[in-house]
Structure 1
Amino acid sequence: MDRVSPRVARGMMWIALGLIVLIRLLNGITHHRGGCALALTMLPYPPLVALLWRPWPRRLRYGLVVVVTGLAALPFQVVGTDWDWIPWTVGAALLVALPGRAATALFLGLLGAVLAGGLLEHDGAVDAISRATATVNDALIVFSLYSLAGMIRDLNAAQGELARLAALRERLRLDSELRTIVGGGLRAIGELLSPGGPEGVRDAAERARRTLTGIREAAAEYRTEGVAADRPGPRSPRITWLVLLGVLCMQGLARTAAVASADPAQLPVILPIVATIIVLYLVPHFRFRLLLIALLTFPLAWPGSYLVPTWGLVDGMWGFFIGLALVRLRPPASLAVVAGVLCLHVVLWVTPPPVLPPVQIGSGLVSDLILGGLVYSMTRLGELVAVLERARHELAEEAVTKERVRIARDLHDVLGFSLSAVALRGELALRLLDRDPERAEAELASLRELVGRSAAELDSITDGRIRLRLAEEIDTARQVLEAAGVMVETLVDTGPLDRETDTALAAVLRESVTNVLRHSRARECAITVVTDGGLVRLTIANDGVPPPVAAQRDGTGLDSLAARTGGRLTASPRPGGRYELVAEFESDPAPLGGDADGVDAVAGA
């Protein structure tokens, strides 16, 4: 059911509209209306179809309502009241085109005009109620199906909108949180480095390590912390319940009025049964309601009508049973029930005498199909609206989770290295303060620049637009490794690189250098970046890898980067305690800030 397209939903509306038009024609023929009256009766339908065709601008909608109303009143000027005047087209146009309160007020005014017109024509109570019931039912059927089709269209069109907004809200929330955790730490580090004395540098290095711990804890929390579910239950929109209640009550009122007119003594029998049937239709989870409605409805009308003819008037509720059977049963059982009910209805109309004319029998069968189609369409389309609404919230939850995981990865892959470098180079500057003040001052200046760059990287993480530069990362890697006592050799022969390739290579280099510092006692490290056959290859080789570690690659940061940027990565130990990592990228990899398929977490935000 969740795969029903808006086109199918609107198709249900057009089918209902066509059946209503057909039954109005059959009723006109049954009452021997002339050809002129029948033709005039059809005039309001084209502008009504135009009104239902699409959501027009307000002025055009109001203009079409005026046209429908004028054409619905035109037959009075030509043939007087000698036609089947049920102005349901005006009611449908009012409900579709006008705002809720205005539409309701004018629709009630229309019903008052229908009843007043009946009184002026000296209609009996049954005829007046029948005309009002037909006006309400037909207008509500078209309006409800139009509204549900519009809901489905809008929900399909906006399936990803709630997800984008939820991810953006989560991004802004995490941005505020990270600015407190990380941004505050970076500002404190910068302030501690400003004087340049031993105490300030030592405190800055220590603050960098604490901030790095906070980053790792935040990243772990973002990966593991569940997203609070805030989604509505799978409930159909209120309009489905209200319209079904309205049509059921109108049909029950018409049946009860007919019984009261024909044989008032049968009201104590008919009224409780009709009321019970209406209640059963509105209790969706009652297990045996289909069977109970059948037991209450069918024996009373047939063969009960042979005993008391007025009991046969309950057959007007059979159409609802058809719709409920289509909802609760699967083909071919549901189709067999529908065919059986229609055949039984024909039997009821031809026995006992008098036999109804074929046109009237056809009109009754169409009425059954309209009511059955209403129950089926309203139920299924209402369920679909609920499913689509639930899916929107599930997509939003998924988008929030992806956004949290993305930020956690970028914290680890991008900002973790920067804070490690700040701590390491801070310690180096501290050692140089007494031995080589000039070099120490150069290290402090470079360190302040690195802190500033880390703050910019924090902004790029939270806004989903990571931008790293390979040339800068190679310089930073050399400085950090040399600060740790590692001799570095570099070779870069690539020519100009596009932005995404440049960022991907820089990110892998940054993570690799972090691993060299954390998992080895390297004294030598070679970094090579070359192009080969349309690929860009980054190779990092180092020594000082202990034998237990040489057999496996610890951590998942590089695997994560390779998967997210579409690269290929291999890493393996070499003889003599050496280790080599090779990463290859095509000229246009996926962006670092998005998913592996290159779709950014919040497209266009």
Structure 2
Amino acid sequence: MGRCRWSTPTTGIREGESGPATNSSRHLPAPRLSRMILLAALLCYVGVTMLNIVSSQVSGLHEIGALLCLVVIFVLQLVHSRPGANAAPARWKLLTLGTQAGLTYLPLLVFKAQWGSMAGFLAGSILLLLPPRPAWTLYGAVGLSMLAPPLLTERSTVDTFYFVQSTLLTGLVVYGLTRLVDVIHLLHETRGELTRVAVTKERLRFARDLHDLLGYSLSAITLKGELIHRLLPAHPARARTEVEDVLAISRQSLADVRGVASGYRDMSLRDEIDSAESVLNAADVTVGVRIRIGAVGQALDTVLATVLREAVTNVLRHSHASHCEITADHDGELVRLSVSNDGVLPDYRDPSPHSGKGLGNLEVRLNAVNGRLTVERRDDATFRLTASAPLLPAVDSVPKRESSPTAA
């Protein structure tokens, strides 16, 4: 009767960030890893070229010159692959591309085909820095220019086309890896924006609920207070009746405020799971969902949905999670909801159910349905929150709204 569903991974936000993580995002695992992959690829190409030069048995002076040229080309390529390089002034781009082109083609006169792989760096830089139409034209021209070195050494036709193909492939690799790094940085820099949007939406919800729930009640209390003030001297009995109405309205207003503040209304666990998946997916957290329970009472359904909402909030606020597991199953007459995640922050202490408002409130709600809440932090930086309750709770914990008296 349940369902088993697994979502695809996306990228994450952390509630509490004040804005786009333009500096801090570079220290997050994904951007740093992508940058390291690009750096490793460039170093491998440079290393292969240097090995080709050494194996060609040129003089030591030529080897030193080749090494210096390779270092300069490598540095230029890092400059061209940095974020925002294509927005640099045209004069700067022509200067650096011209320098790289000179260091690409002049050594060909000495090292011939052994220097050919450096043309791939030039092709990639052209794609990175120039507008698309001239960039792809020059990219192809650089590839065709590699027909010359093999012909000068009287290599076979197969070797000639191999050098052209390897140059074009190297250019695509450099271009693709650099663009991938840019995309990953961009995704991580949107975390703060997504967080602010989520906070703004919640503030709007809070303001909307306060307006809808309390606007009438406060207006009615004000009007009845003025009426009581007028009735007290001449009609005390009528004033007493109006006071009772004011007390009823104020009690309902207090219940409404509590409901708005906690967001605790009639809720559905399955609807809340859909919302949690959407939020966590937007936060770059891989979500695994396994639901193996049937229909439960409204009281228990609301409590479990509230537990899930608080657990997801903790995932976003107190971790750099990459994976979150949500499971709901039952063992006989006991229903169990479990939420676990990795990436717990090192300075985040293990909370007890009574240590904070969020988990403490959950403990109170679960006690109302004869349930219990357990939390566990493991040595591998994972955190698990588990709520369990009888399938048929004896106490209905869902607050019922009283009908508000009509203002006179």
- On the 8 A contact 2:21/2:191 being kept in 1, the answer is no
Q: Distance in 1 between matches of 2:241 and 2:22?
A: 62
> For the structure 1 residues 245 and 314, does the alpha-carbon distance in structure 2 shift closer, same or farther, using more than 3 Å as the test?
same
- On the 8 A contact 1:270/1:311 being kept in 2, the answer is no
1:339 to 131, 140, 155: 140
Name 1:232's counterpart in structure 2. 21
| SS of equivalent to 1:398 | helix
Name 2:99's counterpart in structure 1. 292
Asked if 1:371 is matched to 2:170, the reply is yes
Matches of residues 452-531 of structure 1 in structure 2 within 5 Å?
452-462=251-261
Q: Distance in 2 between matches of 1:277 and 1:318?
A: 10
Name 2:78's counterpart in structure 1. 282
Offset at residue 248 of structure 1 (A): 1.9
Name 2:62's counterpart in structure 1. 266
For 2:45, give the aligned amino acid. Q
Offset at residue 270 of structure 1 (A): 0.8
- On the 8 A contact 2:104/2:118 being kept in 1, the answer is yes
Name 1:154's counterpart in structure 2. 9
| SS of equivalent to 1:154 | coil
Name 1:416's counterpart in structure 2. 215
Offset at residue 413 of structure 1 (A): 4.5
Name 2:186's counterpart in structure 1. 387
- On the 8 A contact 2:147/2:161 being kept in 1, the answer is no
Q: Deviations over 1:217-252 (max 9, x none)?
A: xxxxxxxxxxx8422118671233212221222222
Offset at residue 464 of structure 1 (A): 6.0
Offset at residue 367 of structure 1 (A): 2.2
Q: Distance in 2 between matches of 1:364 and 1:457?
A: 74
Matches of residues 45-84 of structure 1 in structure 2 within 5 Å?
none
Offset at residue 422 of structure 1 (A): 1.7
Name 2:392's counterpart in structure 1. none
- On the 8 A contact 1:231/1:394 being kept in 2, the answer is yes
2:160 to 361, 369, 382: 361
Name 1:243's counterpart in structure 2. 37
Q: Distance in 1 between matches of 2:72 and 2:35?
A: 17
Q: Distance in 2 between matches of 1:296 and 1:437?
A: 101
For 1:273, give the aligned amino acid. C
Task: List runs of 5+ in structure 1 lacking aligned partners.
Answer: 1-56, 58-152, 170-227, 468-605
For 1:232, give the aligned amino acid. A
Q: TM-score, normalised by structure 2?
A: 0.52
- On the 8 A contact 1:248/1:278 being kept in 2, the answer is yes
- On the 8 A contact 2:53/2:114 being kept in 1, the answer is yes
Q: Distance in 2 between matches of 1:239 and 1:335?
A: 28
> For the structure 1 residues 358 and 311, does the alpha-carbon distance in structure 2 shift closer, same or farther, using more than 3 Å as the test?
closer
Q: Distance in 2 between matches of 1:380 and 1:336?
A: 19
Q: Deviations over 1:369-422 (max 9, x none)?
A: 332121111121222222233344323322322332343344345423322322
Aligned CA RMSD, in angstroms, stands at 3.0
Matches of residues 55-204 of structure 1 in structure 2 within 5 Å?
154-155=9-10, 162=13, 166=15
Flag the structure with larger Rg. 1
> Which region of structure 1 is more displaced relative to structure 2, 407-416 or 453-462?
407-416
For 2:43, give the aligned amino acid. C
Offset at residue 296 of structure 1 (A): 1.4
1:254 to 48, 54, 58: 48
| SS of equivalent to 2:116 | helix
Q: Distance in 1 between matches of 2:166 and 2:217?
A: 75
% identical equivalent positions: 29
Q: Deviations over 1:537-580 (max 9, x none)?
A: xxxxxxxxxxxxxxxxxxxxxxxxxxxxxxxxxxxxxxxxxxxx
Offset at residue 450 of structure 1 (A): 0.3
> For the structure 1 residues 365 and 311, does the alpha-carbon distance in structure 2 shift closer, same or farther, using more than 3 Å as the test?
closer
Provide the aligned length of Structure 1 versus Structure 2.
242
Q: Distance in 2 between matches of 1:431 and 1:439?
A: 11
- On the 8 A contact 2:221/2:246 being kept in 1, the answer is yes
Offset at residue 461 of structure 1 (A): 3.5
- On the 8 A contact 1:260/1:266 being kept in 2, the answer is no
| SS of equivalent to 1:350 | helix
- On the 8 A contact 1:300/1:312 being kept in 2, the answer is no
| SS of equivalent to 1:356 | coil
- On the 8 A contact 2:116/2:167 being kept in 1, the answer is no
- On the 8 A contact 1:241/1:282 being kept in 2, the answer is no
Name 1:315's counterpart in structure 2. 116
Q: Distance in 2 between matches of 1:410 and 1:383?
A: 41
Q: Distance in 1 between matches of 2:162 and 2:71?
A: 25
For 1:330, give the aligned amino acid. P
Q: Distance in 2 between matches of 1:411 and 1:347?
A: 76
Q: Deviations over 1:188-218 (max 9, x none)?
A: xxxxxxxxxxxxxxxxxxxxxxxxxxxxxxx
Matches of residues 425-464 of structure 1 in structure 2 within 5 Å?
425-462=224-261
For 1:425, give the aligned amino acid. K
